[in-house]
């Protein structure tokens, strides 16, 4: 393409009547080359395929008409922006042009401003948008830094995290790595302050001391029970490991089927499936769950296949305390794998005629994070948060879950969609001592005589103070802060290479702790499906 002034090839057999339009474009910084026929345009583009930035193409010309010219240009320049300019208002002409991948369509007579607008839209919109986003971010950054320097409340932390995530999404559209690095620095500072906030207040929340956030054990009481008592049909969907940025894409995809109301809650620590999902579904902190189910955890380092084996029973017991029965002969509780067939899921819905609630627990995000370190392809795709979001979006658009949620809207179910915890991209290793099991949990560990650099972790000599089970005398818990991950002190380079920039769960960061919960109320007539 040409450098400096954008170059326009204008093809029209009556180009002499468009001199004023050409002069207008040239005063606005464009260089316009006029030609009189389709053949002339094709020859010029073949001789100089990188010379022009855009083509304005008349549809009705003697000899080779605009549609034929368009088709021939597309054969050798498929990505060149082309705008059809025509006297015809016939719908068929428009459809033919769209079928040949036209980029814009104008009906004569056109005024100079229309031509300028279509050129700017196709050639300069990304630059203009990038400039405006950059300016807006710089102004917002100053406000966010000022807010961060003060004393943030629970609500302030939610708003701060929302702002950071939204800017993360906005700056994907800006070709300015400097701004993204600036935001990354702000996010790091936020997570340092947020980790300190959690360490200062979490123990108080467990004891019921002062302003209290909604936490994972309170989700059933706050969101599900009121809907069930209002005789709503409810589907509870738990996307285990979902972060706020991933939720945004899912929420947007569902707005054509549902009205959406969003809230937030705080996950528990460790912010990992074996603890947080049990707390979410049981409506209780792990210490209380362990009193009722002493065999659920043995040493605190179990994986989810062991620690989460009683989820349906725990949730059933919680609902029973609210007078809500879950029929044992109906599949009201389902764990979904990525390969689950949509027909199988719809059959389960059909079978649940007596149950007031259906629950779907999806392990996709956990499985993705666990398998990433052993897959070079996944490592490349999810090397950063943008790639992780893109993978989530691609999965959701092709998933049986999306089809299920569409059907639930048709069946007038209210969907409560949330997560038990999030994940964070870990870029800093911290050496951990006194650990024998290095296979699992690179953001938290239970054990005797475990130790780590105290600047990088929360050390709990008495885990019960944080609502966690007691796994024996002198058993402590260490939880990584910010974006640290544990490294075997004798295998530093190996662990550093394997887990750097991997997504991990279980620690203390905004991404892992601050969770969205969406209440999706079906639109009338299934949202116009």
Distance CA 412, CA 259 (A): 12
Q: Residues 341-385: pLDDT tens digits?
A: 888 899 999 999 889 999 999 987 766 655 555 556 666 666 788
pLDDT at 512: 97
Asked whether residue 137 is domain-assigned, the answer is: yes
* Token output for 245: 């940025």
Q: CB neighbours of 205 closer than 8 A, spacing ≥ 6?
A: 212, 213, 215
Same domain as 412, residue 430: no
Distance CA 431, CA 495 (A): 10
Nearest-CA neighbor of 5 among 41, 47, 53, 61?
53
Same domain as 499, residue 444: yes
Q: Does position 72 have pLDDT exceeding 60, yes or no?
A: yes
* Token output for 213: 């956030």
Same domain as 277, residue 137: no
Residue 56 · residue 8 · CB < 8 Å: yes
More confidently predicted of 371 and 206? 206
Q: Does position 527 have pLDDT exceeding 50, yes or no?
A: no
pTM confidence score:
0.85
Which CATH number do you get for residue 337?
3.40.720
Band (pLDDT 50/70/90 cuts) for residue 438 is confident
Domain finish residue from 174, 206, 238: 206
pLDDT at 338: 67
* Region class of 475: left (phi > 0), else alpha (psi between -120 and 50), else beta: beta
Of the chain, the percentage scoring pLDDT greater than 70 comes to 95
Residue 447: phi and psi, rounded to 5, are: 165, 170
Same domain as 355, residue 276: yes
Same domain as 355, residue 398: yes
Asked whether residue 463 is domain-assigned, the answer is: yes
| Number of domain units in the chain | 4
Asked whether residue 1 is domain-assigned, the answer is: no
Q: Does position 529 have pLDDT exceeding 50, yes or no?
A: no
Residue 53 · residue 7 · CB < 8 Å: yes
Domain finish residue from 206, 237, 267: 206
Q: Does position 59 have pLDDT exceeding 80, yes or no?
A: yes
Residue 506 · residue 272 · CB < 8 Å: yes
**Domain residue limits at 498:** 425-506
Same domain as 156, residue 59: no
pLDDT at 112: 93
Residue 120 · residue 129 · CB < 8 Å: no
Domain finish residue from 152, 177, 206: 206
DSSP-assigned states of every residue in 170-184: HGGG---HHHHHHHH
Our CA dihedral for 372, 373, 374, 376, rounded to 10 degrees, sits at: 70
Q: Does position 432 have pLDDT exceeding 60, yes or no?
A: yes
**Mean local confidence (pLDDT), 125-143:** 90
More confidently predicted of 500 and 157? 157
**Mean local confidence (pLDDT), 328-332:** 93
Same domain as 500, residue 518: no
3-state secondary structure of 237: strand
Count of CB atoms within 10 A of residue 41's CB?
A: 28
Which CATH number do you get for residue 73?
3.40.50.2300
pLDDT at 336: 84
Distance CA 104, CA 55 (A): 10
Nearest-CA neighbor of 85 among 8, 31, 150?
8
Asked whether residue 122 is domain-assigned, the answer is: no
Asked whether residue 150 is domain-assigned, the answer is: yes
Q: Which of 49-53, 121-125, 368-372, 429-433 has the lowest mean pLDDT?
A: 368-372
Same domain as 103, residue 84: yes
Asked whether residue 271 is domain-assigned, the answer is: yes
Q: Does position 528 have pLDDT exceeding 70, yes or no?
A: no
Q: Does position 469 have pLDDT exceeding 60, yes or no?
A: yes
Mean pLDDT score across all residues of the chain: 90
**Mean local confidence (pLDDT), 37-51:** 94
Whole-number Cα distances in Å, 39 to 44, 63, 74, 102, 303:
9, 9, 14, 18, 68
Asked whether residue 393 is domain-assigned, the answer is: yes
Distance CA 313, CA 427 (A): 38
pLDDT at 379: 63
- The secondary structure element, H or E, covering residue 105 is strand 104-107
Distance CA 522, CA 351 (A): 21
Band (pLDDT 50/70/90 cuts) for residue 435 is confident
Q: Does position 263 have pLDDT exceeding 80, yes or no?
A: yes
Band (pLDDT 50/70/90 cuts) for residue 403 is very high
**Mean local confidence (pLDDT), 423-443:** 88
Same domain as 241, residue 168: no
Q: Residues 208-227: pLDDT tens digits?
A: 998 999 999 999 999 999 99
Band (pLDDT 50/70/90 cuts) for residue 93 is confident
Same domain as 395, residue 318: yes
Same domain as 325, residue 261: yes
**Mean local confidence (pLDDT), 278-295:** 96
pLDDT at 33: 95
Same domain as 461, residue 520: no
Asked whether residue 120 is domain-assigned, the answer is: no
Band (pLDDT 50/70/90 cuts) for residue 463 is very high
């Amino acid at each position: 393409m040409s450098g400096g002034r954008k170059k326009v090839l204008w093809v029209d057999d009556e180009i002499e009547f468009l001199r004023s339009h050409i002069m207008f474009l040239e005063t606005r910084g464009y260089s316009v080359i006029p030609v009189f026929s389709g053949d002339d345009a094709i020859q010029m583009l073949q001789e100089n395929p990188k010379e022009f930035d855009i083509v304005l193409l008349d549809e009705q010309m003697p000899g080779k008409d605009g549609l034929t010219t368009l088709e021939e240009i597309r054969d050798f320049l498929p990505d060149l922006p082309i705008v059809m300019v025509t006297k015809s208002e016939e719908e068929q002409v428009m459809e033919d042009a769209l079928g040949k991948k036209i980029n814009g369509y104008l009906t004569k007579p056109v005024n100079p401003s229309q031509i300028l607008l279509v050129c700017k839209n196709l050639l300069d919109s990304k630059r203009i948008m990038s400039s405006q986003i950059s300016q807006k971010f710089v102004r917002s950054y100053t406000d966010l830094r000022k807010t961060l320097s003060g004393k943030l409340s629970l609500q302030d932390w939610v708003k701060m995290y929302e702002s950071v995530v939204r800017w993360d999404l906005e700056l994907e559209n800006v070709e300015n790595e400097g701004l993204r690095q600036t935001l990354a620095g702000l996010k790091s500072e936020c997570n340092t302050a947020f980790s300190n906030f959690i360490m200062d207040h979490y123990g108080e929340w467990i004891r019921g001391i002062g302003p209290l956030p909604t936490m994972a054990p309170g989700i059933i009481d706050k969101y599900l029970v009121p809907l069930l008592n209002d005789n709503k049909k409810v589907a509870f969907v738990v996307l285990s490991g979902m972060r706020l940025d991933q939720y945004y894409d899912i929420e947007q995809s569902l707005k054509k089927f549902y009205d959406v109301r969003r809230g937030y809650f705080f996950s528990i620590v460790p912010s990992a499936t074996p603890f947080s999902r049990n707390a979410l579904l049981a409506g209780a902190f792990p210490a209380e769950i362990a009193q009722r189910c002493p065999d659920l955890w043995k040493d605190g380092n179990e994986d989810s296949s062991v620690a989460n084996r009683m989820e349906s029973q725990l949730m059933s017991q919680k609902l029973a305390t609210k007078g809500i029965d879950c029929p044992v002969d109906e599949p009201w509780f389902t764990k979904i794998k990525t390969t689950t067939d949509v027909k199988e899921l719809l059959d389960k819905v059909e079978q649940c005629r007596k149950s007031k609630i259906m629950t779907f627990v999806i392990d996709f995000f956990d499985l993705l994070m666990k398998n990433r370190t052993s897959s070079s392809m996944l490592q490349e795709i999810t090397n950063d948060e943008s790639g992780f979001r893109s993978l989530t979006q691609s999965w959701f658009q092709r998933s049986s879950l999306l089809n299920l949620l569409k059907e639930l809207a048709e069946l007038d179910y209210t969907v409560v969609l949330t997560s038990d915890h999030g994940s964070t991209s870990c870029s800093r290793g911290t050496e951990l001592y006194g650990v024998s099991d290095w296979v699992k949990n690179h953001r938290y560990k239970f054990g005797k005589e475990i130790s780590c650099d105290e600047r990088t972790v929360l050390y709990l000599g008495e885990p019960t103070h944080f609502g966690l089970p007691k796994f024996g005398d002198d058993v402590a818990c260490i939880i990584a802060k910010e974006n640290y991950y544990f490294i075997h002190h004798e295998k530093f380079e190996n662990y550093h290479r394997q887990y750097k920039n991997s997504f991990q769960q279980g620690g203390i960061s905004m991404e892992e702790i601050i969770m969205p919960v969406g209440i999706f109320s079906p639109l009338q007539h299934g949202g116009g499906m």
